[in-house]
Amino acid sequence: MTRISAGVTTPHVPAIGAALDNGKAAEPYWAAVFSGYERSKQWIAQQNPDVVILVYNDHASAFSLDIVPTFAIGCADLFESADEGWGRRPIPVIQGHPELAAHIAQSVIQQDFDLTIVHRMDLDHGLTVPLSLMFGQPVAWPARVIPLAVNVVLYPPPSGRRCYELGKAIRNAVQSYDADLNVQVWGSGGMSHQIHGPRAGLINREWDARLMDRIINEPEELSRIPHIEYVREAGAEGIELVMWLVMRGALDDTVRTIHRFYHVPASNTAVGHLILENTQ
């Protein structure tokens, strides 16, 4: 039976990818960030997932401002990294899992979630940086990837509650897939950060720590936080954290914390990283 074994949260700061690609990972500034992922890379090598469902937000790479779906699932066999203005990242081609992706789309849409089905999309730092943080710099990615894009760029983004319920629908879909696969669900996005305006550079350590506690132990209550609290407490770009709720909804009600890491700064972002395993 296909199962979801674990969930991961991680930021997708573009400067992290640039540090790796340009050989700067050992510099003191970046070494402090990457040190939090050494255990993660050991863990995932032991877990050996077949598929990663990676919840991320597109930064006007696959979608222009003309068409911005609330939720979109990539059903292609292969995905290239996006050229975000300085060329494609020098990383392996990302192999999808079109059969499982199509099954998820069928199941989730029948559970009344309207997913946009995408058969061709380039994937930007929102998805590629998490892969690099968890897998390092391999010749080929060791797992297939199903991209799940969430709009947290243009108003109105989906509510935390909607994201949490989508995660539950994805769990139902995966568990009904007739194959023996080990699936993980990752939620990307920074913790508190704002990259523009008078509050640029905002970091709220106390609020971040509380959210990490709640994503583990109180996801139901956390899912009811309104958008304004994310923006007020975590900065305008802190709304990305609703994507963590998709991951959490896909896991069991009770989870085991394998690894927890928090660090500031990574560029202008607070790094929040969790590895959660299902207990069953």
Which residues have a catalytic role annotated? 125, 193
Measured CA to CA in angstroms, residue 149 lies from 5, 71, 121, 178, 203 at distances of 21, 6, 11, 25, 25
Q: Which two tokens stand for residue 33?
A: 């960030």
| Distance between CA atoms of residues 272 and 260, nearest Å | 8
Pick the closest to residue 53 from 168, 164, 166, 187 (CA basis).
187
The answer to whether 143 and 52 have CB atoms below 8 angstroms apart is yes
**Is the link from the previous residue into 156 a cis peptide, with omega within 30 of 0?**
yes
DSSP character string of 128-158: HHHHHHHH-S-SS-SSEEEEEEE--SSSSPP
Q: Is the dihedral of CA 95, 186, 10, 40 positive or negative?
A: negative
| Distance between CA atoms of residues 212 and 208, nearest Å | 6
The single residue listed with the structure tokens 């106390």 is: 206
| Distance between CA atoms of residues 106 and 173, nearest Å | 8
Calculate the CA 21 to chain-centre distance: 20
